[in-house]
């Protein structure tokens, strides 16, 4: 199939970007979306042009590098699918496709389709872990965890940190991302100990990084390639309220 692409090109963070037209020719249905871009890039190189840069790594939907908005939807229109797992069989000959980077105040564009998602890492660094040092820990089976709780923790821990939730949100909020880590750790007995402190630190960090607040649009859940649920945001809010009124005085 042949496709027409309008791709965001931006040389530097402080430079103005624009949509540039490219033609993708002889694309086969079993190719992935990124393989289609690889083909476009190889043509560009052959003709002496600079390639379109985009973040990618594992190409199996687990590393969270993909940061593209396809036809206005982060990761494209397929449910629970990262860009690398989106295959061209879901497009048809003659389609026009718009490809842009994730857009959010907290994610400055570095070049073309690559954005800086360091803000998400800084939220984690503010407290998104259990403060255990290596060594001197009890036997793995000394901590019993009800299966239902472990399953919920796992549902939340599946977040790949791609930032699609932020780009999908009209407020540019990172609540789903933050809530997934809060829930994951708060569901586990070894994580509960720091939960009040953690939720306050991470919430503060989230606000300082320039992310907005949740307005219950649920766009994040719709865009999440891992199907992380908005219920976790309710859990985040509940943990936050508990912390504010009970144990910990936030900022």
Interacting positions 133-192 with other proteins (CB under 8 A): 133-135, 137-141, 143-147, 150-151, 153-154, 157-158, 160-161, 184-185, 187-188, 190-191
How would you classify residue 211: left for phi > 0, otherwise alpha for psi between -120 and 50, otherwise beta? beta
Shortest Å, Cβ 130 to other proteins: 5
Binding other proteins by CB under 8 A: which of 25, 77, 89, 105?
89
Element (H, E) at 167: helix 164-168
Task: Answer yes or no whether residue 117 interacts with other proteins by CB under 8 A.
Answer: yes
Could you give the string, one character per residue 28-47, with x where binding to other proteins holds by CB under 8 A and - elsewhere? x-xxx-xx--xx-xx-xxx-
Q: Which residue has the tokens 């901590």?
A: 143
Binding other proteins by CB under 8 A: which of 7, 75, 81, 230?
81
Please, which residues bridge with residue 81 across strands? none
User: Which parts of the chain are beta strand (E)?
Assistant: 3-9, 18-24, 68-70, 73-74, 96-101, 109-111, 114-115
| Closer CB to other proteins, 97 or 153, in the complex | 153
Name the one range near other proteins by CB under 8 A: 51-59, 97-105, 170-178, 236-244.
Answer: 51-59
> Which residues are within 8 A (CB) of 53 and not within 5 positions of it... i.e. 6 or more apart?
111, 112, 113, 114
Binding other proteins by CB under 8 A: which of 63, 222, 234, 244?
63
Q: Are 107 and 166 in contact (CB under 8 A)?
A: yes
**What is the rounded CA–CA span in Å between residue 242 and residue 105?**
29
Shortest Å, Cβ 215 to other proteins: 27
State which of positions 192-251 bind other proteins (CB under 8 A). Answer: none
| Number of residues near other proteins (by CB under 8 A) | 81
């Amino acid at each position: 199939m042949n496709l027409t692409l309008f791709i965001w090109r931006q040389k530097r963070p402080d430079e103005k970007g624009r949509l540039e037209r490219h033609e993708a020719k002889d694309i086969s249905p079993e190719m992935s979306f990124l393989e289609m871009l690889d083909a476009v890039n190889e043509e560009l190189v052959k003709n002496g042009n600079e390639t379109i840069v985009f973040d990618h790594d594992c190409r199996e939907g687990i590393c969270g590098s993909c940061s593209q908005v396809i036809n206005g939807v982060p990761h494209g229109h397929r449910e629970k699918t990262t860009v690398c797992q989106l295959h061209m069989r879901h497009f048809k000959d003659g389609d026009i496709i718009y490809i842009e980077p994730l857009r959010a105040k907290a994610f400055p564009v570095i070049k073309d389709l690559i954005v800086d998602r360091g803000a998400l890492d800084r939220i984690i660094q503010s407290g998104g872990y259990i403060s255990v040092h290596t060594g001197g820990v009890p036997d793995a089976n000394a901590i019993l965890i009800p299966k239902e709780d472990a399953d919920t923790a796992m549902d939340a821990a599946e977040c790949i940190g791609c930032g699609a939730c932020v780009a999908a949100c009209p407020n540019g909020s990172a609540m789903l991302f933050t809530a997934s880590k809060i829930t994951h750790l708060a569901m586990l007995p070894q994580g509960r100990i720091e939960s009040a402190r953690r939720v306050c630190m991470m919430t503060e960090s989230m606000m300082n990084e320039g992310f907005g607040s949740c307005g219950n649009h649920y766009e994040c859940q719709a865009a999440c390639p891992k199907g992380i649920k908005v219920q976790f945001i309710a859990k985040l809010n509940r943990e936050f309220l508990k912390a504010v009124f009970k144990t910990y005085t936030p900022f």
